[in-house]
């Protein structure tokens, strides 16, 4: 059967018909809001390359969480910026570190009303800005794992629900799983940044998190954008090591990878709509070159259609508002 009997436009004739046959529905439950909290500042500081995003104080972080809870965003992922950095990234595992304090504060205020995800990495905490321990000019994988174990336990102790290692060290999921289980945190889940590509789209984040590497780049641990089979191996290894959820990042240049991974592994799968993707839309919208709302809903829906169960996005709060107005 084909034209003229078949007419695809029949089901596009009006909004209700289009809604009825819509295959992918973006929902507020799909979203995770990334938030930055900085030690030792008196007021929230706007992030120039990410309009609408802030380096929060503990108080402004709580207020932001309140707004997110009000509009129904179910989860946040927290990034901490310590007052002092050192080569070992000591602040990352400090029981009184900025993330640990933030976790306790938010838990106290919101209980079970908000899921708390922590990014587990060292680049915000190290003086050299790399994601692990540097030895002989390169990041030493296995020494870094020892630090990740300590950081994981400190984050769990402070109340994280889900720990998300983003450093792309080999064996990081296994190391963290063992550490958590050994310390009695069997029920804390791991969201593995499994297929994380080296990307220029992390630029604004590195301003926000003050985490740019002081020498070299991250290509000896993050993936080459040219590679596909490698992403499949990365995800498969993380699942074997005990990941509960896997992530593809950045989302938009890697929708093919996201679709493939969802199809192959059938795991709860997340995609990170990263800082550079946010900045591009914001910049164009500020110029009046793009309709921000329509663009964001289109992008987030496409990420979900490609296979994401969970989308980490700086647009979470705005999208939540827009989704409310729509329904």
Q: Would you say 60 or 118 has its CB closer to Zn ion? A: 118
Q: Would you say 202 or 322 has its CB closer to ligand PBG? A: 202
Q: Using CB under 5 A, which of the segments 85-93, 125-133, 233-241, 261-269 binds Zn ion?
A: 125-133
Whether a cis peptide bond, with omega within 30° of 0, leads into 4 is yes
Q: Is 196 a catalytic residue?
A: yes
Beta carbon of residue 148, minimum distance to Zn ion (angstroms, whole number): 11
Alpha helix ranges (H) inside 42-140? 58-71, 98-110
Task: Please pick, among 196, 260, 262, 317, the residue that the annotation labels catalytic.
Answer: 196
The entry of ligand PBG, Zn ion, none that residue 275 binds, CB within 5 to 8 Å by partner kind: ligand PBG
Q: Is 282 a catalytic residue?
A: no
Among 185, 202, 315, 322, binds ligand PBG (CB under 6 A): 202
Q: How many chain residues bind ligand PBG (CB under 6 A)?
A: 12
Is 192 an interacting residue with respect to Zn ion (CB under 5 A)?
no
Distance set, CA 258 to CA 26, 274, 299, 313 (Å): 17, 14, 14, 16
Within 10 angstroms of residue 50's Cβ, the number of other Cβ atoms is 20
Q: Would you say 167 or 307 has its CB closer to ligand PBG? A: 167
Which pairing describes strands 134-135 and 138-139: parallel, antiparallel, or unpaired?
antiparallel
Distance set, CA 241 to CA 117, 173, 236 (Å): 19, 6, 9
Distance of alpha carbon 80 from alpha carbon 96, whole angstroms? 12
Q: Would you say 130 or 149 has its CB closer to ligand PBG? A: 130
Task: Please pick, among 38, 85, 214, 249, the residue that the annotation labels catalytic.
Answer: 249
Is 271 an interacting residue with respect to ligand PBG (CB under 6 A)?
no
Among 118, 166, 269, 313, binds ligand PBG (CB under 6 A): 166
The entry of Zn ion, ligand PBG, none that residue 100 binds, CB within 5 to 8 Å by partner kind: none
Cβ-contact 83, 42 below 8 angstroms = no
Site mask, ligand PBG, residues 99-138, x = CB under 6 A? --------------------x-x-x-------x-------
Distance of alpha carbon 326 from alpha carbon 317, whole angstroms? 14
Within 10 angstroms of residue 58's Cβ, the number of other Cβ atoms is 16
* Matching residue, tokens 């002081």: 214
Is 205 an interacting residue with respect to ligand PBG (CB under 6 A)?
yes
Alpha helix ranges (H) inside the chain? 15-20, 58-71, 98-110, 141-158, 172-182, 203-208, 229-241, 255-265, 275-286, 292-306, 316-326
Within 10 angstroms of residue 142's Cβ, the number of other Cβ atoms is 12
**Would you state the structure tokens that stand for residue 322, as one six-digit string?**
């827009």
Site mask, ligand PBG, residues 141-160, x = CB under 6 A? --------------------
Q: Would you say 87 or 110 has its CB closer to ligand PBG? A: 87
The entry of ligand PBG, Zn ion, none that residue 205 binds, CB within 5 to 8 Å by partner kind: ligand PBG
Q: Would you say 81 or 131 has its CB closer to Zn ion? A: 131
Distance set, CA 25 to CA 67, 262, 271, 297, 321 (Å): 23, 17, 16, 10, 15
Q: Which residues make up the interface to ligand PBG (CB under 6 A)?
A: 119, 121, 123, 131, 166-167, 202, 205-206, 218, 274-275
Residues that bind Zn ion (CB under 5 A): 121, 123, 131
Catalytic positions: 196, 249
């Amino acid at each position: 059967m084909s034209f003229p009997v078949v007419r695809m436009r029949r089901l596009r004739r009006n909004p209700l018909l289009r809604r009825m046959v819509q295959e992918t529905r973006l929902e507020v439950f799909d979203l995770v809001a990334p938030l930055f909290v900085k030690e030792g500042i008196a007021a929230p500081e706007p992030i120039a390359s990410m309009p609408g995003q802030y380096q929060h104080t503990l108080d402004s972080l709580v207020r932001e969480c309140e707004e997110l809870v009000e509009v129904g965003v179910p989860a946040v992922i927290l990034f901490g910026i310590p007052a002092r950095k050192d080569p070992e990234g000591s602040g990352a595992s400090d029981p009184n570190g900025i993330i640990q304090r933030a976790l306790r504060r938010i838990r106290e205020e919101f209980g079970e009303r908000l899921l708390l995800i922590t990014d587990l990495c060292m680049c915000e905490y190290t003086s050299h800005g790399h994601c692990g321990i540097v030895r002989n000019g390169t990041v030493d994988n296995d020494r870094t794992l020892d630090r990740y174990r300590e950081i994981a336990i400190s984050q769990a102790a402070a109340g994280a629900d889900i720990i998300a290692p983003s450093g792309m060290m080999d064996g990081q999921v296994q190391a963290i799983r063992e550490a958590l289980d050994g310390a009695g945190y069997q029920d804390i889940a791991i969201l593995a940044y499994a297929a994380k590509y080296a990307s220029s789209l992390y630029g604004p984040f590195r301003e926000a998190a003050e985490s740019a590497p002081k020498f070299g780049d991250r290509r000896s641990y993050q993936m080459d954008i040219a590679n596909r089979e490698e992403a499949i191996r990365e995800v498969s290894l993380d699942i074997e090591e005990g990941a509960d959820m896997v992530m593809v990042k950045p989302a938009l240049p890697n929708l093919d990878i996201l679709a493939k991974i969802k199809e192959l592994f059938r795991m709860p799968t997340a995609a990170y709509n990263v800082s550079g993707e946010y900045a591009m839309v914001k910049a164009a919208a500020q110029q009046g070159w793009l309709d921000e709302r329509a663009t964001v809903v289109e992008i987030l829906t496409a990420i979900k259609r490609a296979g994401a169960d969970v989308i980490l996005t700086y647009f979470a709060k705005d999208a939540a508002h827009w989704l409310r107005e729509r329904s």
